């Protein structure tokens, strides 16, 4: 096994250990249908709440009502914390509702940053790399703002990267990525949002960005946090970048995320990463009809470009580009359990994943807007008008 494969396996093991230790997380491990969820929580539309409550009583479930969001009610089942997938399937079964409409009910799914991988094709963590050259002329993307919904932005981003990041966003305390697990050792996806912001500005050096936190430094969040971040974007954002996503029970679309995206102005373009598990299974929000799903390509040693083995793909993917990127990062050290020595980083990193294709696409849309004097939807449609690169990967973006 190669060193890269060894690191990938250690990364996945560390993530599995983290999930197992957190009582707020459960893994539904059904082969080919895996997903993460909040134990003991059902999300139900307000109009279906009373019918669902009556059915829960009829089946002997004890429940409480929690705080809802976006027109969805939260039903807490304290005695059935691990049984949520089974209960949702019961409530979705037409046999449960003879002659009636099936209610809209789902687990409260967790979202995952797509810089790493979970229960799929192994991926690697970031590696140190040389500093980037200074940005190009700030004409590409000038006047355009990208919302970066991620782990947030490093507290030292502006001072660590005065050429790349200083002055291109408005620092706010609730947008900070705490990034470190302990001391100066990174959490599993600490710095992910800072890296993503740097990739977007490479494609469009004149673009501003609005960082929002929807993931913790380990790259984990949930549908409520993501919906809150989407609805909390600053006014004037024209493009939204989400280098994250979730698998869901039986691949049903995430209702909270669908609702949040639908609240955005119609002239805002949303791009989201496809995910890194090497499957055709849809990842949300990337698979939503009004979101641009982005897959990854890989650059071979001979210079040819091919579909990345780790990238999710399928009919729901719209665009693709090379997923191997160097970008802005933090100072600190990486050391996973089982590694003999830490690896030091000095503000720049190399990383691969659909997470890093997505901001390249977002930045490319911004650059097309300014170079052609067109809107974000027009720039998106211009990219989508090309030929499909490979079945299930969409149109290639240079």
Residues annotated as catalytic are: 150, 192, 355
Closest by CA to 150, choosing from 314, 351, 384, is: 351
Facing residues of 265 across strands?
Answer: none
Burial 98-110 (b: 16+ CB within 10 A, else e): eeeeebbbbbbbb
Return the ∠ at Cα 389 (arms to 388 and 393), rounded to 5°: 85
Surface-to-core class of residue 33, CB atoms within 10 Å of its CB (0-12 exposed, 13-18 middle, 19+ buried):
middle
- Whether 365 and 269 have beta carbons less than 8 Å apart is answered as yes
Token code pair at residue 194:
């800072």
Residue with tokens 């976006």: 70
For 60-193, strand residue ranges (E) read 64-69, 72-76, 105-113, 127-128, 145-150, 153-154, 176-177, 180-182, 185-186
The number of residues making up the chain comes to 398
């Amino acid at each position: 096994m190669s060193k890269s494969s060894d690191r990938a396996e250690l990364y996945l093991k560390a993530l599995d250990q983290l999930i197992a230790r957190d009582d707020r997380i459960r893994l539904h491990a059904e082969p080919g249908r895996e997903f993460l969820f909040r134990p003991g929580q059902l999300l139900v539309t307000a109009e279906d709440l009373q019918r669902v409550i009556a059915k829960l009583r009829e089946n002997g479930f004890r429940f409480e009502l929690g705080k809802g969001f976006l027109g969805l009610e939260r039903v807490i089942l304290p005695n059935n914390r691990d049984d949520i997938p089974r209960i949702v399937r019961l409530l979705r079964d037409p046999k449960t509702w003879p002659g009636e409409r099936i209610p809209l009910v789902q687990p409260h799914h967790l979202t995952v940053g797509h810089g790493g991988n979970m229960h799929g094709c192994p991926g690697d963590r970031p590696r140190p790399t040389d500093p980037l050259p200074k940005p190009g002329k700030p004409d590409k993307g000038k006047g355009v703002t990208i919302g970066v919904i991620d782990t947030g932005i490093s507290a030292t981003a502006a001072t660590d990267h005065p050429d790349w990041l200083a002055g291109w966003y408005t620092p706010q305390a609730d947008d900070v990525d705490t990034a470190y697990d302990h001391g100066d050792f990174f959490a599993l996806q600490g710095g992910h949002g800072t890296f993503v912001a740097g990739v977007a500005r490479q494609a469009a050096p004149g673009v501003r960005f609005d960082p929002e936190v929807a993931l913790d430094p380990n790259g984990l969040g949930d549908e409520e946090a993501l919906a809150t971040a989407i609805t909390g974007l600053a006014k004037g954002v024209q493009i939204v970048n989400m280098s994250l996503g979730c698998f869901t029970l039986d691949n049903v679309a995430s209702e909270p995320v669908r609702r949040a995206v639908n609240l955005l102005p119609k002239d805002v373009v949303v791009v989201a990463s496809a995910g890194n598990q090497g499957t055709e299974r849809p990842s949300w929000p990337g698979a939503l009809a009004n979101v641009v799903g982005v897959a990854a390509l890989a650059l071979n040693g001979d210079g040819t470009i091919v579909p990345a083995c780790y990238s999710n793909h399928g009919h729901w993917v719209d665009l693709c580009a090379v997923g191997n990127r160097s970008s802005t990062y933090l100072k600190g050290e990486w050391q996973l359990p089982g590694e003999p020595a830490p690896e030091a980083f000095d503000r720049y990193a190399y990383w691969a994943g659909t997470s890093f294709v997505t901001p390249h696409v977002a930045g490319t849309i911004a650059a097309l807007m300014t170079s052609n004097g067109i809107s974000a939807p027009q720039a998106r449609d211009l990219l989508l008008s090309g030929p499909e690169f490979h079945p299930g990967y969409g149109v290639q973006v240079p």
